Structure 1
Amino acid sequence: MRNTNIAYLLARMPIAMSMLGHGLVRIPKLVKFSAGIEKQFTNTMLPHALVYPYSIVLPFLELLTGILLILGLFTRFANILGVAIVLSLIFGSTMLEKWDAVFTQIIYGAYFALLYLFADHNRYSVDQLITGNKSNLV
Structure 2
Amino acid sequence: MNTQITYLILRTGVGVSMFGHGLVRLPKLQLFSDWMLKSFEKAMLPEMLVLPFSYVLPITEFVLGILLIAGLFTRISAIVASTLMIILIFGTTLIENWSALTPQFVHLALFAYLIQNSTNNRFAVDHLLKK
Normalising TM by the smaller chain, what interval?
over 0.9
Instruction: Please show how residues 69-108 of structure 1 align to structure 2 within 5 Å.
Output: 69-108=68-107
Match in the other structure for 1:9: 8
Q: Is 1:52–2:51 an aligned residue pair?
A: yes
Matched residue, 2:115? 116
C-alpha deviation, 1:100, in angstroms: 2.2
Amino acid aligned to 1:112: F
Displaced runs of 4 or more, over 3 A: none
| Structure 2 counterpart of 1:127 | 126
Aligned match of 2:32: 33
Amino acid at match of 1:6: I
Supply the distance in 2 between the matched residues of 1:102 and 1:119 (Cα, whole angstroms): 25
Amino acid at match of 2:90: F
Which residue in 1 is equivalent to 2:23? 24
Mind listing any 5+ residue stretches in structure 2 that lack a counterpart? none
> What one-letter code is carried by the residue in structure 2 that aligns with 1:47?
P
**Equivalents in 1 of 2:20, 2:71: separation in Å?**
17
Compute the displacement of 1:7 (Å): 1.5
Work out the percentage of aligned pairs sharing the same amino acid.
47
CA distance in 1, matches of 2:98, 2:121: 33
Q: CA separation in 1, counterparts of 2:47 and 2:28?
A: 19
TM-score using structure 2 length: 0.96
2:43 maps to a residue whose letter is T
1:48-72 per-position Cα deviation (integer Å, ceiling 9, x unaligned): 1000000000001101110000110
Q: How many residue pairs align between the two structures?
A: 131
Give the distance between the partners of 2:3 and 2:105, measured in 1 at CA: 24
RMSD across aligned positions (CA): 0.9
* 1:33-90 deviation digits (Å, cap 9, x = unpaired): 0000001100111101000000000001101110000110000011001101111110
Q: Which runs of 5+ in 1 are unaligned?
A: 133-138
The one-letter code sitting in structure 2 at the alignment partner of 1:83 is: S
